[in-house]
Amino acid sequence: ANSSSETELPSNPDTRQVQVLGPSSFCDNRVVTSHYTALNFVPKNLLEQFTKPANVWFLFLAVLQTLPRVTTTGGFPTIMLPLVVIVCANGLKDAIEDYRRHKSDRDENNRKTLNMVAPGQRESEVSWSNVHVGNIVVVNANEYVPADMVLIASAHPEGHVNIETANLDGETNLKVKQCHPELVSLLGAHTSVEGAIEQAGKLAGVLVCENPNEFLYTFVGTLTASLGSSEVEKGIPLGADNIILRGSKVKQVHWLLGLVVYTGQESKIMMNSREKKGRKQSHLEKNVGTLTGAIFGLQAVLCLIAATRSAIFDTSDSNLDLTYLNLHSGDRQTPNGFVVFAIRFLNFLILFSNFIPISLLVSVSMVKLAQVFLMYCSNDMIYRIDEEVIHCMPRTSDLNEEMGQIEYVFSDKTGTLTCNKMDFRKFAVNGIVYGEGMTEIKRNVMLKMGQTIEEPPPRPPAAKITPHVDLIDRRLDDVLFTPSHPQSEAVNTFLLHLAVNHEVVPEADKSGNLAYSASSPDEAALCYGGMHFGYKFLSRDSSGIEVELPDGKIRKVKVLANLKFNSSRKRSSSVLIRFEDEETAGKVWIYTKGADSVVWDRLEPTCKETPELKLSGCVLKEMAEDGLRTLCLAGREISQDEFVTWFQRYNDASCATEKRTEKLDAVADEIEVDLLLHGITGIEDRLQDGVGETIEKMCAAGIKVWMLTGDKVETAINIGVATGLLLPDTDATRSLKGERPIFTSEEFEAKDGDLDEARLVEAFQKVAQKALDFEKKGVMFEGLVIDGKCLQVALAPEHEKDFVAISTRCGSVVCCRVSPKQKGAVVRLIKHEKKAITLAIGDGANDCNMIQSADVGVGIRGLEGLQAFNVCDYGIAQFRFLQSLLLIHGRWCYRRVGILVNYTFYKNIVVVLPQYFLGIVSGFSGQKLYNDLLYQSYNVVHSMLPIMLFGIFDQDVSKEVSLQHPELYAAGLQNEYLNPKVSLSWIASGVWHAMCIFFVPYYTMSNGNVTNGDGKANDIWLLGTVVYLLVVIVVNLMVVLETCFLSWLTCFGLFFSFFWWIFEHALVAGDLTSSIVTTELNGSTQRLFGSPMLWLVVLTSAALAVLVDLQLKGIRCVWFPSVLHNVQGQVLEDMRRRRK
C-alpha cells in the first residue's frame, strides 16, 4: 500500500485534508480573545472611539476652537476637557476588559499536554499553543481536551470515553464518545498508555473532513489509515460520536489518544465564542437618536438666525459709521457679508456646542451597568437549589429599559412553565393504561373547572422506590410474573425496549448506586422506568449494551446501527441483534421511539385497523389531556437478507463526506417501516412554582402571553388552562369566555390524509374577518389554538396578515407541535407586523431561535443544558422571576432612563440658551457668557452626579407595591416617559428656565448696575457667573422634583454638584492659588458673595423657574391623575392609617 503522504485524494473547497503525524499548514492552537495588543491599543482604541458620530462632532468643534477667526475661547480647545475625560474613561474600561482577556488567554495557552508530532517520535510535554493539526495528543482523566480531535484510542478496551461538555453547551451530564470499531481493530486494545502511544506512532494516513464550523453536534470525516506498508489502508467513516471538542473534560477513563483536526480559532468552541455581528438595539435608543437629530436641527436653526442677524448688524451702513464698534477691517474696507455670516455661524456652533450633550452616552451606559448589577444582586431573583445559588444573569445592559415596554411574551412550555423534572407516570400497551392517580396539571384544571377531585391512591408500604418513577399499579405484578397472562409478552417487550433504545450513560453515584445521565430528562426517566420493573440497563460499549432482566440474568444486546434523533426525524431508532440467547440468536430487530405523529405513519398498514391500535389512539388523547408528554415505541423483526442489503447502503451513507446527514436520514426512512406498536409512555412534567400567578400579573399589566410548544393540542390546552392562559369551560366562566378558534391538522385533514390547505385558508379568512368585526365592538377572542401544520400555512407570506389579524385580537395564543424554526418565525412576524416590543423565554436549544429573534431574549437555566441561557440577553432560574424582571426592574429602568434622557437634553438647553439671549441683546456679536473652564465642566461634574444617582436608585413605588399593582406597567406600553409630547414639554421647560435664569440677573445686575458696596459696576463676567450658578441650582432642583425616593445618596449628589461649583469657581478666581488662573474672574468671589443682591436674584430666579413646574405637576396630580398618582396616593393613605 502507498504511504499516506503519497495518497492522492480529490480536492474539495468544502473539506480539509489532515495528514496523520505530518506537517500542518493550518492555524496554530493559540487562543486569542483579546481585542488589542500593547502596541496597537492607543491607535486602535482611538480609531474605534472616533468612529462614533458624537465624538467626531465634538472633535470637529475642538478644531474650530483653535482657528483664530472663529474661536471664542482664545484659541484654546476647551471642549477637549470633557472629550478627553469621556474618551479616557471609555479607554480605561476597554483596557481593563482586554487585560482580563489577555490574562485568560495566557492561562489557556500555557496549559500543558502530552503531544506527538511525527512518526516514531517520543511524546513530549508541550503548551496547548504548540499543538498542531495532525498531531496525536494524550489526555488523562479529569483533564481538559486542548483541541478538537478524533478519538483513536482510550484506556477502555472498546475505545469508549465519557466526557463532560459544560464548557461548550453548559450540560453537566456525561456523554459517550467512542473510537470507531475499525480504529480499535487497527490499533488494538492497550492496558497502558505507553503501548498505545507506541502503536499510534506507527499510524499513517489522511483524514478528509468538513471545514471548520460552529456546529457542536455534527462532524463528517473519513480516515484512510494504515499501520506500516504491509497493511491495507482502510476508509473509516467518522461522525460526531468520534470527535471530542476542545474544552471537554475527560471522565471515567484513565487516558485517551486523539488526532487533532481543528485548532485555535478554528476549534468549534472558539467559532461559537466569536462576537455575533450586530447587536440588539432598544427602541428607546432609537428614539434618542431621533431626539438628538431634532435638537441638532434646533441648534442649526439658532446658529443660522444668529449668524444672519450678526452679518446684517456688522455690514449695515449705520453701524459701520459707529467707529467705536470697530466693524471695519484694518484697511477700512467694508466687511464681506458672506464671510461675516460664515465666521459667525462657526462662532455660534462653538458657543452652542453643549446643545448636544457630550455626556449622554456615558451617563446612560454607566447607569445601565449599575442597573444590571442591582438586578444581579436582587434577592427577588435569586434561586437556591441544594448548595448552588443562581442569580439573575444580565448578559447585556443595552436592553434594560426595553423590559419596561414588553407587549408580547413568547414562552416555551417544557422547562420554562414546567420544572423539566420528568417522572415516568403511566404507560399503555395494547390500549391498556398502567398507572394510577391524577397528574398535577389535570388536578389544576379540574380545580379551575370546579370539579371534585378524588384523593390519590395511597402508596403501598412495600412499594419499590426508583428515582424519576411515580407509577403505581397493582395489576403489573400479575402481568409481569405470570407468563400466561395475555399482556405479559407485550408488556415485557415494551419494558425491554425502554432499557435498550436510548443513549443514556450509566454511572455510580456517591452511594455506589447506579445512576443514569442523559442529554434529555425524558430519556433518563424512561430508562429509570425500565429499571423500576426489573429491566436494568447496566453498561454500554462499542458493540452494544448489557441489560439485567427481572430474573437476574444478564442479556448482551449488540447494537449494529444507531439512527439518532434529530428535529426533522422526530424519532430515535436502534437496529440491534440479541445474542447469548438461543431463541433469538442471529435475529435482527429494529426498535423505534418517537413522536406519535411520526411513528403512527410508520406502523404496518393492517395493524392500524386493529381494535388495540384504535384504543391506543384514544389513550394518546387521554394522556395528552392529563398533561403527560407521550412517546410511541414500536419495532419489528428484520429478515437477514433485508438487513444485509440495507446495512450496505447504511455504511455507504456513513462514509459519505458530503450531505452525510441527509443520506443517513434517507436510509433510515427505508428501514423504519411496517412497525408494530410496542406501547405508549406518559411522562409527567410538573408546573413550576408561581407560574399561574406570574402569567396572571403579566396579563393584568397588559402584556400578551403566548405559549409555543411541541406538545399535542390537548396537552397544550390543559397547560393553558392550568396556568391561566385560557379560561376553563365551566358554568362560572362560560359567560366570560369569548370564542376560541382552534386550527388543527386533524380538523382540516383531506381524504388522502394530507392537510386540506384550501379549506384551512378559507377558515382563516372567515375568522380574520370576524376578528375585525369583534374589534369594532370592543370584543376579542378568548384565545387561539393552532398546531404546527396549520401554522406552517398561516406563516406563508400570502396568509400571514390573516394570522396576525386573528392572533393579535386574542387574549392569548397557544401554538402546538411547533418546530424551533416556527417559533422564531412567529416572533419575527409579530415583531415586524405590529411593530411591537417582544420578549421570548425558554430553556433549551430549541428555544434559541425565538430568543435571538425577539427584542429581549430571556433564558432559563434549566435541565436541558445552557444553550438558551448562553444566547439570551438576561438569564434567570425560574419563570416566576419574570414578574420581578419586568414589573419591577424593567418598569423602573424604563422610567429612570426615559427621564434621564429627557433631562440631559433639558439641562443643556438651560445652559446654552442664555448664550443665545445674550446674543439678542448684544447684536449677536459672538461674545461668550461663561468662563470656559466652568462651562466645559458642566456636563461632567456640575450636573451629572444627581441624575445618574436618580437613574440608578430612584423608585416611584416599592417592589411590593409594583407587584400588587401590575397596571403600573402600562406606562411603558404607552411610552409615557419618552415620546414627542413629553420631550417637547421638557424642551419648553428648559426654554422657560433659561429665560428666568438670564433675564432676571440681566435686568438687575448688568448694564452698569452697581450692586456692591465698592461702587464698581458689574461686568459681563459677573453676570455670566450669576447665570451659571443659577443654571447649576435650577437643573439640580429639577432632579429633586422628579425624584420619588429621596435618599441620602440623592442629597449627597446635590450637595456635591453645588459645592464643587464653589470650589472650582474659587480656583479659577484665584482664591485658592497665589497666581492668576484667569483674568476674567480674578477676585470675583468676594464681590459676588458679598452682594445682598446676589441672594435676592438667586432666590427670585430659581423660584420663578421651578414653581411653574411644581404647579403644573400639582395640577396634573389633582385634576388629571395617572395610574401612578392613584397608586402613590393609596400608598400614602395606607401609611397614614398605620401611623394612627
154 by DSSP, 3-state: which? strand
The edge-to-edge listing of strands for the beta sheet with 221-227 is: 15-19, 203-210, 221-227, 234-238
- Beta pairing class for 423-429 and 856-860: unpaired
- Report d(CA 1038, CA 7) in Å as an integer: 80
Amino acid letter, residue 889: H
Phi, psi for residue 453 in degrees, rounded to 5: -110, 130
Listing DSSP states for 40-73 in one string gives THHHHHHHHHTTSHHHHHHHHHHHHHHSTTT-SS
- Residue 265: strand, helix, or coil: helix
CA proximity to 1011, closest of 1091, 1101, 1083: 1091
Contact between residue 1076 and residue 1070 where contact means Cβ atoms under 8 Å apart: yes
Quick check: 155 and 256 in contact, CB under 8 A?
A: yes
Q: What whole-number distance in Å separates Cα of residue 1085 and Cα of residue 1072?
A: 11
DSSP 170-211: -EEEEEEEE--HHHHHHH---SSHHHHHHHHTTEEEEEEEEP
Rg (CA), the chain: 37
Contacts of 860 (CB under 8 A, 6+ apart): 415, 416, 841, 842, 843, 868, 869, 875, 876, 877, 878, 879
In 3-state terms, what secondary structure has residue 770?
helix
For the beta carbon of residue 15, count every other beta carbon within 10 angstroms: 18
Please state, in angstroms and rounded to a whole number, the distance separating the CA atoms of residues 212 and 222: 15
Q: Helix, strand, coil % (nearest 5) of the chain?
A: 50, 15, 35
- To the query of whether residue 412 is one of the catalytic residues in this protein, the response is yes
Alpha-carbon gap, residue 1076 to 14, rounded angstroms: 73
Kindly tell me the burial class for residue 86, based on how many C-beta atoms sit within 10 Å of its own C-beta (0-12, 13-18, 19 or more).
Answer: buried
Q: How far apart are CA 663 and CA 388, in angstroms?
A: 44
* Residue with the three cell numbers 459696576: 1017
Residue with grid cell 499510534, as numbered in its chain? 200
824/328 Cα distance (integer angstroms): 70
Pick the catalytic residue from 169, 314, 398, 412. 412
Pairing of strands 856-860, 838-842: parallel
Give the residue numbers annotated as catalytic, written as ranges.
412
